[in-house]
Amino acid sequence: MPKSNNPRVSIVIPTLNEERNMVPLLSGIKKVMDGSAYELIVVDGSRDGPSTDRTVGIAKRYGARILYANEGKGLALLKGLRAARGQVLVSMDADLSHKPNELRLLIAGIEAGYDLCVGSRFLFGGGTSDMTRTRMVVNKTFVFLVNTIYGSKYTDMCYGYRSFSRSGFRRMKLKELGLGIEAEINIKAQKAGLRIIEVPSFEKKRAAEKAKVIAWKAGFSILSTIFKNMG
């Protein structure tokens, strides 16, 4: 069992009907984290209710704490991160796009003294096989906008594989309930003067089940998040 009563690392996974991905995901995490004090937090559900498949049942079998969120992905992440007991908090998708072995890089970033460690598909060693050309162009535009407006040096935006120090997470005072959450993190971490680092990450194609995030809706949420945090 991965559970520890005094976890050092909390891995938070938002889920919505991911049953066919759960066993490979959770067994992959277990293998990498074996011997570490960590907890798994699965935050399930959307505005339309909880997953209707066996996602939650499988997560329970792997010893995850289960929380429910009745809004978008942002609320799910925030609920999970707020409930986390570790000193190192990690956010990770359930669709096998995020490689469990990279957990070690993300944890190392926080243990080396940073508050936010962001996986980047555009650093050497990273990459993606899950992004269309259009998404790539839109992502680059958002990166440019955020870096220009907020004075940051990110190479990636809108990517959900990242880690936080407990205190850094609290200092950001995040609010986004929807798809702007990743952009909000990038912006507020910079504004709060957190110590930020990126590590390369390779995003694999979603393994099974349908994508839950609708790309153009995400684009609008992110754009509105970028502008509403100015000033």
Ligand X SMILES: Nc1nc2c(ncn2[C@@H]2O[C@H](COP(=O)(O)OP(=O)(O)O)[C@@H](O)[C@H]2O)c(=O)[nH]1
In the list 18, 19, 176, 184, the residue contacting ligand X (rule: CB under 6 A) is 18
Q: How far is CA 167 from CA 27, 121, 142, 190, 192, in A?
A: 29, 26, 27, 14, 12
Subset of 147-206 contacting ligand X (CB under 6 A): 206
- 93: how many CB neighbours lie within 10 A of its CB? 22
Q: Which of 175, 191, 66 is nearest to 116 (CA)?
A: 191
The distance of closest approach from Cβ of residue 196 to ligand X in the complex, given in angstroms and rounded to an integer, is 21
User: What mask of x and - would describe binding to ligand X in positions 119 to 148, judged by CB under 6 A?
Assistant: ------------------------------
| Binding-site ranges for Mg ion (CB under 5 A) | 95, 97, 206
In what helix (H) or strand (E) does residue 116 lie, and over which residues does it extend?
strand 116-120
Task: Name the binder of 66 from Mg ion, ligand X, none, CB < 5-8 A by kind.
Answer: none
What per-residue string of b and e applies to 146-184 under the rule 16 or more CB within 10 Å gives b?
bbeebebebebbbbbbbbbbbebbebbebebbbbbbbbb
Using DSSP, how many helices (H) and how many strands (E) does the chain show?
A: 8, 9
Q: Name the residue nearer to ligand X (CB basis): 21 or 229.
A: 21
Q: How far is CA 94 from CA 38, 133, 135, 140, 195, in A?
A: 17, 23, 20, 24, 27
Subset of 39-98 contacting ligand X (CB under 6 A): 43-46, 69, 72-73, 76, 93-95, 97
Does residue 212 bind ligand X (CB under 6 A)?
Answer: yes
Task: Name the binder of 76 from ligand X, Mg ion, none, CB < 5-8 A by kind.
Answer: ligand X
Q: Name the residue nearer to ligand X (CB basis): 120 or 194.
A: 120
Q: Name the residue nearer to Mg ion (CB basis): 86 or 160.
A: 160
The distance of closest approach from Cβ of residue 43 to ligand X in the complex, given in angstroms and rounded to an integer, is 5
Residue 21: CA count within 13 A, CB half-sphere: 23
In the list 2, 7, 12, 15, the residue contacting ligand X (rule: CB under 6 A) is 15
159/147 Cα distance (integer angstroms): 16
Q: Name the residue nearer to ligand X (CB basis): 15 or 229.
A: 15
The distance of closest approach from Cβ of residue 36 to Mg ion in the complex, given in angstroms and rounded to an integer, is 25
Q: Name the residue nearer to ligand X (CB basis): 37 or 67.
A: 67
Q: Name the residue nearer to ligand X (CB basis): 18 or 39.
A: 18
Do 67 and 79 meet the contact criterion of CB atoms below 8 Å apart? yes
Residues near ligand X, by CB under 6 A: 14-16, 18, 43-46, 69, 72-73, 76, 93-95, 97, 206, 211-213
